Amino acid sequence: MTQDDTDLGRLGRVAPPEHDVLDAAREVLWAVVAQEMLSAGEAAGEAGQAGETGSRRAAQRQKDQRQTDQRQKDKHQTDQRQTDQSQTDQRQKDQHQTDRPGP
Amino acid sequence: METDGTLIERSCRGRPDAFVEVVRRHEIAVHGFLTRRAGSQAAADLLGEVWLRAFAGRGGYDPAHPDARPWLYGIARNVLRAHWRAPRDDQVTAPEDPCDPWEAVVDRLDAAARTGRLVGALRALPSAEREVLLLVAWEQLTPAQAAAVLGVPPGTARSRLHRARAALRLALALEET
């Protein structure tokens, strides 16, 4: 810093700004900052909603899968019961024929 | 204390309000920068525009730079250039060089300063040299920071500053003889 710089510095001295000038400029900025925060919040909300929808879909898929599994299981059991019944009937029929006195 | 770079980076990553702290740190200095070059009324009008441009452009800020002041001065300088270029009702004729409103600056100095030798010597400087000199003398920047404001290599800013100081010394010495 030279003497000339010091003199120049004196030449460029200005009064400090009024607080309301700074506040007004900051308000302009805050409006944009708030807008961005709001947009970010909405985006996060939509993402959350999408996540919720996804979870609901996943839960529904699990439920559907469980129902399908249950239906297949029931069907299998029904088939099995029918098969068992048929076999039992056949055995009873055979037994009946065996027990019948010969001619 | 967090650096300006850290705050600006955070403001880009989901916390835009962190940028307001950067503004609080530099608002008086940036207002002074504008006032010295355009007067207090224009400074009051343009300060918000500086913050808006800075906020919009913060994604391009290198967070490795801890002090955002030179960057903000660079934005303020661009805002001033746009302000000087814009046609105004009170402006009868456009200034010859809209980026060098030195005459307007001189008009705002008080009468005693206006007649001073220093102002005469400053007026005689090429605008590019005067700009570096005033960034160092008025804004207390280093030559490297002044270079960042002007978007020139640091070596260029240093040589301009050197030439400006030499010319100023010579002009003042000639006036004394």
Domain finish residue from B94, B128, B157? B94
Domain-embedded: residue B79: yes
Q: Which of residues 121-150 of B touch A (CB under 8 A)?
A: 122, 133-134, 136-138, 140
**What's residue B172's pLDDT?**
80
By mean pLDDT, which of A10-24, B25-39, B87-101, B157-171 is the weakest?
Answer: B87-101
Tell me the helix, strand and coil percentages in chain A, rounded to 5: 85, 0, 15
B87 contact A CB<8A: no
Domain-embedded: residue B21: yes
The verdict on B81 and B125 lying in the same domain is no
- Residue A17 distance to chain B (closest CA, Å): 7
DSSP run (H or E) holding B42: helix B40-56
Domain-embedded: residue B101: no
Render pLDDT for B115-134 as a digit per residue (tens, 0 to 9).
577 888 888 999 999 999 99
A3 contact B CB<8A: no
Domain-embedded: residue B156: yes
Residues of A in contact with B51 (CB under 8 A): 25-26, 28-29
**What's residue B98's pLDDT?**
55
Domain-embedded: residue B99: no
Distance (Å, rounded) from C-alpha B139 to C-alpha B123?
19
pLDDT at A42 over 90: no
- What b/e sequence results for B76-113 when a residue is b if at least 16 CB atoms lie within 10 Å of its CB, and e otherwise? bbbbbeebbeeeeeeeeeeeeeeebbbeebeeeeeeee
**What's residue B140's pLDDT?**
92
Half-sphere exposure at residue B45, Cβ-oriented, CA atoms within 13 angstroms? 9
Domain-embedded: residue B160: yes
The verdict on B6 and B90 lying in the same domain is yes
By mean pLDDT, which of A5-9, B16-20, B71-75 is the weakest?
Answer: A5-9
Domain containing residue B75: 1-94
Q: What is the pTM of this model?
A: 0.71
The verdict on B122 and B89 lying in the same domain is no
The enclosing domain of B57 has a CATH number of: 1.10.1740.10
Q: Hey, is B118 helix, strand or coil?
A: helix
DSSP string, B69-125: HHHHHHHHHHHHHHHHHS--TT-SS--SSTT--HHHHHHHS-HHHHTSHHHHHHHTS
CB B28 to CB A16 under 8 A? yes
The verdict on B42 and B5 lying in the same domain is yes
Return the amino acid letter for B136.
Answer: V
Q: Note the ipTM here.
A: 0.81
pLDDT at B82 over 50: yes
Residue labelled with tokens 């027990």: A99
CB A30 to CB B20 under 8 A? yes
The verdict on B113 and B33 lying in the same domain is no
Nearest to A4 among B31, B43, B169 (CB): B169
Mean pLDDT of B19-31: 97
CB B138 to CB A12 under 8 A? yes
**What's residue A58's pLDDT?**
45
Q: Percent of chain B beyond pLDDT 70?
A: 82
**What's residue A103's pLDDT?**
45
Cα A70 → chain centroid: 26
- Residue A69 distance to chain B (closest CA, Å): 45
Q: Percent of chain B beyond pLDDT 90?
A: 71
Domain-embedded: residue B63: yes
Residue A56 pLDDT class (50, 70, 90 cuts)? low
Instruction: Residue B17: count other Cβ atoms within 10 Å of its Cβ.
Output: 15
The enclosing domain of B141 has a CATH number of: 1.10.10.10
The verdict on B6 and B86 lying in the same domain is yes
B172 contact A CB<8A: yes
The verdict on B8 and B67 lying in the same domain is yes
The one-character DSSP state at B60 is: G
Mean pLDDT of A40-50: 71
Q: Hey, is B21 helix, strand or coil?
A: helix
**What's residue A45's pLDDT?**
73
Number of domains, chain B = 2
Domain-embedded: residue B140: yes
Render pLDDT for B129-162 as a digit per residue (tens, 0 to 9).
999 999 999 999 999 999 999 999 999 999 999 9
The verdict on B129 and B171 lying in the same domain is yes
The verdict on B83 and B123 lying in the same domain is no
The verdict on B72 and B132 lying in the same domain is no
Q: Percent of chain A beyond pLDDT 70?
A: 46
The verdict on B15 and B90 lying in the same domain is yes
The verdict on B88 and B137 lying in the same domain is no
Distance (Å, rounded) from C-alpha A3 to C-alpha B162?
14
CB A33 to CB B19 under 8 A? yes
The one-character DSSP state at B125 is: S
CB B138 to CB A28 under 8 A? no
